[in-house]
Structure 1
């Protein structure tokens, strides 16, 4: 009888411990996996690895592993978050391309099914031509496209309807071009787009600043306009903004951080605080300047509001491009 009582007590305490373990929220910052919805070496990957470096350097986390999950319009990366509901140690790069891909039907979910943590930076989209192009200014290009919208091939990476496509099209739309008649040609990467520009296979390229800078330094391309709110520094300091040219738009490719659905407000605050600390370091600002990115830290609630605003703007352009849900 005594043995039976002891066994019953042992079983009771085992169940109690299990319940407590389940009820106890997981501690963020332990064995964290940061999922990048792109391959190694691209802008999303570069940012993720800088975050890893600084979080570990400042001892804000005990472990932070970057994992690349490219493909399917970020769906493969989002699947990891779906498989880890409520777990604060699974994070992902938040590109606004998720909005585009949701509208286009490339992915079957939206950012609303996850937990936005923070927005970190803005990468600006520029328009390039060859250095020997007859288009010396953005006005030259716009005048040609107004007259004959399908006369030029415009290269983008890496898919129709993405942030670069929308960024280029939005500026041209506001300039009076019929963007539904433009010819956009997708390439695997912006690097490949620029190679085809230099080789004469396309006439114009849309790309973000980290890719533009090394291309510009070759002397083989010219940047006609950039989508920043004011002129950038360094090698892009002579490039006019769309705003300077009388076209009131900012064309950017923001990056932030996304977590699974179901994490607690305290866990959101943990990550929001840590990413804020990272983005306040001199190393982070030097990193952004090197790539001509702009700091854009927003906390969780601000990020949600920003994504709602971006959704409206992106869907308007995609509709004008006649890109509908699949």
Structure 2
């Protein structure tokens, strides 16, 4: 009888999901951190008993705005479609980059990893430290093109603008090249189109191993373990900028409560399953776990905090 009580929840979970694969929608082109988020979910769910299979699809545009509005309006009730998000998505909400969109316009399912900002240059760059790069920018901002995902006001912009301001450089004088997703940033840098990248650790991990990238600083509270253990933080180099980036998934606003809750439960099982911590580490992410109502509350607080930070740079406009 005790064994039956353990088996029944698993049988119920299997019956709750469709026989065909669910969809993880990536709101950027292939190769960036959004892509990594869905691939981690796909791999980890596949290894979790009773969890559904995920297929991946791409809907880039507007640094997430196209996917947001598509799901929030045209595909709002789809019970088995999830969309990747990051701290950058939350920042875009705070800045009004998704129009009049609000936190409660979608349903926040799960966050299952944290990333951190970083600043990188080509491996053969003359800039050996963060101070070298910022000194070159201070001498002549026009000569240092910085690749970033998004436009002025994006998280990549704010990261670099914060460092520049601490180095005595007016952020308005920085020269940025706006690209769609982290993969394009590194492609542009390898092609010599930009001299530096303001991005995230998980993206750098995809490229740093090939010996083509030098990470000058990680924007974490302390040095990170693993392959980047030798890279100093911006803080220890004299620039007190810390930028964590959470990774997770949301759903359309019209999804039934029962369907939403079964996905929340599926990700809770996934995050507690054997082997997930290793998969997360292999993806270049660090521990962070929130689901359902707790995640929704976190996103609301983060939007308020980003709003305050953006106001300091004069980025807020009347909505």
Alignment partner, residue 244 of structure 2? 252
Gaps of 5+ in 1: 1-26
Aligned residue pair count: 300
Q: Does 1:49 align with 2:63?
A: no
Q: Name the SS for the 2:113 alignment partner.
A: strand
The answer as to whether partners of 1:168 and 1:251 remain within 8 angstroms in 2 is no
Once the two structures are TM-superposed, the CA of residue 322 in structure 1 deviates from its matched residue by: 4.9
Q: CA deviation at 1:200?
A: 4.1
Match of 1:96 in 2: 87
Q: Does 1:80 align with 2:68?
A: no
Distance 1:220 1:299, change over 3 A: closer
| Contact 2:217/2:231 (8 A) holds in 1 | yes
CA distance in 1, matches of 2:43, 2:227: 27
Q: In the alignment, is the contact (CA less than 8 A) between 2:48 and 2:273 conserved in 1? A: no
Q: Secondary structure at the match of 1:212?
A: helix
Go from structure 1 to structure 2 and tell me whether the alpha carbon gap of 1:90 and 1:292 turns closer, same or farther (over 3 Å shift): closer
Change (3 A) 1:280 1:166: farther
Are the counterparts in 1 of residues 44 and 279 from structure 2 also a CA contact under 8 Å?
no
Q: TM-score, normalised by structure 2?
A: 0.78
Match of 2:235 among 225, 239, 243: 243
Q: What is the CA distance between 1:175 and its match in structure 2?
A: 5.2
Map of 2:226 onto structure 1: 234
**SS of alignment partner, residue 186 of structure 1:** strand
Provide, for residues 135-172 of structure 1, a one-character-per-residue CA deviation record: whole Å limited to 9, x for no partner: 32222333444565555221113544333223333344
2:154 to 149, 162, 171: 162
Deviation at 1:84, TM superposition (A): 4.5
Residue 229 of structure 1 aligns to a residue whose secondary structure is coil
Q: Are 2:63 and 2:180, in contact at CA under 8 Å, matched by a contact in 1? A: no
CA change 1:196–1:52 in 2 (3 A) is closer
Is 1:111 aligned to residue 92 of structure 2?
no
Question: How far off is 1:225 after superposition?
Answer: 0.4
Shift of 1:296: 0.9
**Judging changes above 3 Å, is the alpha-carbon distance between structure 1 residues 201 and 318 closer, same or farther for their aligned structure 2 residues?**
same
- Tell me the residue number matched to 1:204: 196
Shift of 1:238: 0.6
Q: Where does structure 2 lack aligned partners over 5 or more consecutive residues?
A: 1-14
**What is the match of residue 8 of structure 1?**
none
Alignment partner of 2:17 out of 15, 23, 29? 29
In 2, distance between residues paired with 1:41 and 1:105? Answer: 23
CA distance change for structure 1 residues 310 and 179 in 2, over 3 Å: closer, same or farther? farther
Higher relative contact order (CA 8 A, sep 6+): 2
CA RMSD between the two structures? 3.2
Contact 2:23–2:54 (8 Å) recurs in 1:
yes
- Contact 1:190–1:211 (CA under 8 A) maintained in structure 2: yes
Cα distance change, pair 245–167 in 1 and its aligned pair in 2 (3 A): same
Q: Distance in 1 between matches of 2:196 and 2:107?
A: 37
Return the alpha-carbon distance in structure 2 between the equivalents of residues 271 and 203 of structure 1.
Answer: 42
Q: Is the 8 A contact 1:48 1:66 kept in 2?
A: yes
Question: How many Å separate the matches in 1 of 2:56 and 2:125?
Answer: 41
CA shift for structure 1 position 297: 0.8
